[in-house]
Amino acid sequence: MANIKHRMQSTLHNLYQQGRGQKKKEDPDHRFIHSKVTLQTYLREVDRFSDWLKAQGVKMRCTEQEAARQVPAYLQSLIQAGRSPNTVHTAAAALCKALPGCGLAMSQLPHPRRTHAPKKGRGAAPSLHRRSDADVLSPRYRRLVDFAQAAGLRRDEYAQLRGRDLVRIGGQIYVLVEQGKGGKRQYQLIDQEDAAVVERCFSGIGQDESVFSPSEMNNKINLHRFRREHAQEMYRRYLERLATDQAYRDELLRLIKEAFHRAGQDWRRNPDMRRLAVPYACRGHVRQSLGNAGRAVSYDRLALMAVSVLHLAHWRCDVTVKNYMQ
């Protein structure tokens, strides 16, 4: 009998083969996997779960039922480690797919809601915060909030999205914003851990149809808060990957350079790109503000630049630290 990791991987591959080429609306029960990106994301989650099982002393020849009984404890360990709601949700979804027929159900697994009420931000009045909190928790805006936590766009960019704006380049998923800040065209990278959420929001949307309706955009949600939190989460993910995978640094650098090229900019002339080996150190009032809050005052410049360029459409580390890391 193959070990549990290989059996779960085989199950995911089979679900992809059955769902490949099929429209999601033809699979109303969400039994299959329709995207190669989602498959790759779920396979990675199986790798992580398998490593965790080994660390817990669980034999790799265990049955699917035995592995399934460990899933709640595994998800709880992610929550306790401070992983984002999106990360925990993706892990849960992957394991439900990888261990079918074992009694796993998303509704019964421990995973924090991805619709937390926002903190106060940018000096809004108390009455606005109460309305914002209510809107965040409303099912009416659930799709928008999920997308905002996974993509981190600016408010006016959500309204202009069309079904054609989910694009794939070199094995990566991007959301194309035709007119970003300053009227510039930008490609917002979607991390593979968030790909399933974003793809679901685009599912069933016609090429020229709006992804979010005027009704969905008529809200008082502090969307900038989700943009800021997404930036901080992506920095954490990049830092973790750079620390555990030596080859990842070259891959991340390649993505950043490609982004410069698409924007018609020369990365060689960017001051931060010329100093990637040197940590970014905060100065002045920014350093004091971060220090007083117990936050980091020094950052891995490559990870910070990746967040800036790939997820915020900014080209300088200082802008990202000042506006998103505090």
DSSP line for 182-236: GG--EEEEE-TTTHHHHHHHHTT--TTSBSS-HHHH-S---HHHHHHHHHHHHHH
Long-range contacts: 62-65, Cβ < 8 Å, 24+? 62/4, 63/4, 64/4, 64/7, 64/8, 64/99, 64/101, 64/102, 65/102
Say if residue 1 is exposed, middle or buried (CB neighbours under 10 Å; 0-12, 13-18, 19+).
exposed
- What is the predicted pLDDT for the residue at 138? 84
- Spatial contact of 184 and 95, defined as CB atoms under 8 Å apart: no
Residue 181 — pLDDT band, cuts 50, 70, 90? confident
- Spatial contact of 41 and 94, defined as CB atoms under 8 Å apart: yes
**Mean pLDDT calculated for residue range 198-208:** 94
pLDDT digits (tens, 9 = 90+) for 114-135: 544 444 344 444 444 555 667 8
CA distance 308 to 314: 5
Which positions ≥6 away from 294 have C-beta within 8 Å?
none
- What is the predicted pLDDT for the residue at 286? 81
pLDDT of 146 above 80: yes
Residue 163 — pLDDT band, cuts 50, 70, 90? very high
pLDDT of 98 above 90: yes
**Mean pLDDT calculated for residue range 201-219:** 95
- What is the predicted pLDDT for the residue at 90? 86
pLDDT of 184 above 50: yes
Structure tokens at 119: 């903190």
Pick the closest to residue 212 from 280, 148, 257 (CA basis).
Answer: 148
**Mean pLDDT calculated for residue range 269-296:** 86
Tokens 């090229």 map to which residue? 261
Give this prediction's pTM: 0.64
- What is the predicted pLDDT for the residue at 111? 67
Whole-number average pLDDT of the chain: 87
Structure tokens at 74: 């595994």
Phi-psi category of residue 103: left, alpha or beta, with phi > 0 → left and psi -120 to 50 → alpha: left
CA distance 256 to 305: 8
- What is the predicted pLDDT for the residue at 29? 73
- What is the predicted pLDDT for the residue at 130? 53
pLDDT digits (tens, 9 = 90+) for 42-68: 898 999 999 999 999 999 999 999 999
Domain boundaries, the chain: 4-108, 126-221, 225-325
Structure tokens at 187: 């490609």
pLDDT digits (tens, 9 = 90+) for 257-279: 999 999 999 999 999 999 999 99
- What is the predicted pLDDT for the residue at 127? 42
CA distance 23 to 284: 53
Say if residue 167 is exposed, middle or buried (CB neighbours under 10 Å; 0-12, 13-18, 19+).
exposed
- What is the predicted pLDDT for the residue at 188? 95
- Residue with the bigger pLDDT between 128 and 172: it is 172
Three-state DSSP class for residue 173: strand
Residue 284 — pLDDT band, cuts 50, 70, 90? confident
**Mean pLDDT calculated for residue range 239-267:** 93
- Spatial contact of 232 and 296, defined as CB atoms under 8 Å apart: no
- Residue with the bigger pLDDT between 241 and 23: it is 241
CATH of domain 126-221: 3.90.15
- What is the predicted pLDDT for the residue at 24? 67
Of 125-129, 283-287, 305-309, the range with the lowest mean pLDDT is: 125-129
What is the domain class of 4-108 according to CATH? mainly alpha
